[in-house]
Amino acid sequence: MPAPAQRRIIFQHIDEPGYTNDLACYLRHGGYSSLRKAVARKPEELIDEVKKSGLRGRGGAGFPCGVKWGLVDRKSGKPIYLVVNADESEPGTFKDRYIIHQDPHQLIEGIMITCFANNVKQAYIYIRGEFPEGARILEKAIAEARAGGFVGPNILGTGYGCEIYVHRGAGAYICGEETGLIESLEGKRPYPRIKPPYFPAVLGLYQCPTIVNNVETLCHVKTIVDIGGEAYSKIGTPNNTGTRILCVSGHVQRPGYYEYEVGKITLGELLNEVCGGPLPGRRFKAVIPGGSSAKILRFGERFKGKRKIGNDLVDYDWGVEDVPMDFDCLAMIGTMGGSGGVIVMDDSVDIVAALANINEFYAHESCGQCTPCREGSLWMKKISARMVHGEARTEDGALLKSVADQIAGRTICAFGEACSWPTQSFLAKFGDEFKAYPESRKSAAAPAVPLA
C-alpha cells in the first residue's frame, strides 16, 4: 500500500516558488484573515475552539493546548504574558526554522490570536541564539505587522493592543525547558524552576501568569480559528488531532520535513516510501522517533499489547515499521513522538559511538543545578567516550545503566529524564553490542564516519 499523501497546512507555502516572507505576499495568500475572524469573537469562544480542536503541543510533551490555556490564573489581577518557545534545540528537530525563515507572518498571526484569546498585552518570542537571521526576519515581520495594524496599540481598529518583542537566546539547550526559558528571559541563568509552585500558568514570567507555546503549536491555533475547532478535530486521529511536521534526518535517501495528519502514517511508510529507504547497500538498524531524548527503537523488535480504538480494545502486534506516528502509539511502545525529530541509523553505525555522541550533548547542556543530572550526564559521557576511544570493559554497559537509573525522577526538570533515556534505551535494545564491544572493537577498522 502506498504511503498516504502529505497534508500541508502549516507548511503549505514552505519552499513554494515565489512565496516570500514579507507582509504583502502573506496578505495576497489570505493572511491575517483568521485574526480578523478572531477579534470579531469573544475570547472565551476562541479558547473553546482550541479545546474542541484537541490540539496537543508540538514542542515535545504533547500537552493539550486548550488545557494549558485553561490553567492560566485570570483572577490575579496581574498581566498575562505569552512566551513563544522558538528555542528549537532538540537534536533532530528542524521544523520551526522553516516557519520562522519562510513564513514568519503565519507565526505572528497565531501569536496575536492567542494573545487576544487570553487577554495578553505583551508577547515575547524567545528564539535560539543560533538563528540570527531568523531573529532579523521576525523583527522585520513584526514591524510590518505593526504598520499594518495587526500588532501594536490598536489591532484592526478594535482598541485591543498587544506588542511582540523578539528575545535572542545564547546557545543553551536548557532554555527550551519552559521555566528555564522564563528565567533566561528575566536575564538570569536558565535554571529551571521547581513545580509546584512555579507553574508558568500561575507564577511565570515576572511571577505573572504566563503561557509558553511552541512555534508550530501557535501556527495550528491560527488554522483552528480559521476552520473551527470541530473541523480541526477531524484531521488526524482521535486524541491525536491535526497535522504534524515530521523532521527526518540521518541515514535515509531523502531526509527532510514532511507534514502528515497525525497517526495517518506509519514509521515504515515514512522511512521507506516517503524518505526513499536506506542508503544504497544498507539496512536500517535503529531509529529515534521524537528527538534525541526519545527512547531508541531497534529494527526487528516487536511490540505487542492491546489498544483502544473507539470503544473497543484491539490487539496490536507491530514491528518498528508498523507503528503509527502519533503521540499515543509511540508512548505505548515505550518511546515518544516528542518534537517530531526522527533520527535514522543504518547498519554502518557503531551504536556505542552513537550513544557517546548523544551523551556528549547532554553533558554539555546540563545546566548543573541538580547533582544527579550534572554529575550523571558527565559520567555517562566519560564512560561512553572511554569505551570508544580508550579501554572498553564488558561491565561498562551495566555501569552506564546504573548511572542513568539514578538520574530520572531526581531532578527539578525533565532534563534528567531526557539525558538518561538514551543510555537506558540503548542498553535495553543493544545491550549485546555493549557487552561485546571490548572484543568487537579490537577487530574493527577505524570508522569511516566517526561519531564521537
Footprint on this chain of another protein (rule: CB under 8 A):
88-94, 96-97, 128-133, 165, 167-173, 184-190, 206, 247-251, 255-257, 292, 341, 343, 345, 349, 354, 357-358, 360-361, 364-365, 367, 449-452
Minimum Å gap between C-beta 297 and another protein is 15
Beta bridge partners of 286: 298, 345
Minimum Å gap between C-beta 281 and another protein is 16
* C-alpha cell read off for 148: 499594518
* C-alpha cell read off for 109: 498571526
- Residue 214's contacts (CB-CB under 8 Å, 6 or more residues apart) are 57, 58, 59, 60, 84, 85, 96
Closer to another protein by CB, 13 or 97: give it. Answer: 97
Minimum Å gap between C-beta 93 and another protein is 7
Closer to another protein by CB, 151 or 247: give it. Answer: 247
Closer to another protein by CB, 178 or 365: give it. Answer: 365
Closer to another protein by CB, 309 or 444: give it. Answer: 444
Minimum Å gap between C-beta 307 and another protein is 30
Minimum Å gap between C-beta 139 and another protein is 11
- The owner of cell 486521529 is 237
Closer to another protein by CB, 131 or 232: give it. Answer: 131
Minimum Å gap between C-beta 132 and another protein is 4
310 near 297, Cβ under 8 Å?
A: no
Minimum Å gap between C-beta 110 and another protein is 20
- For 118-198, strand residue ranges (E) read 122-127, 163-168
Minimum Å gap between C-beta 346 and another protein is 9
- The identity of residue 166, as a single letter, is V
CA distance 324 to 392: 38
CA distance 47 to 54: 11
Closer to another protein by CB, 162 or 248: give it. Answer: 248
CA distance 138 to 104: 6
335 near 427, Cβ under 8 Å?
A: no
Neighbours of 445 (CB within 10 A): 5
Beta bridge partners of 316: 305
Closer to another protein by CB, 70 or 255: give it. Answer: 255
CA distance 388 to 357: 10
CA distance 180 to 289: 25
411 near 193, Cβ under 8 Å?
A: no
Minimum Å gap between C-beta 171 and another protein is 4
Closer to another protein by CB, 125 or 330: give it. Answer: 125
Q: Torsion angle, CA of 219/247/265/330, rounded to 10 degrees?
A: -90
* C-alpha cell read off for 79: 498581566
Closer to another protein by CB, 90 or 328: give it. Answer: 90
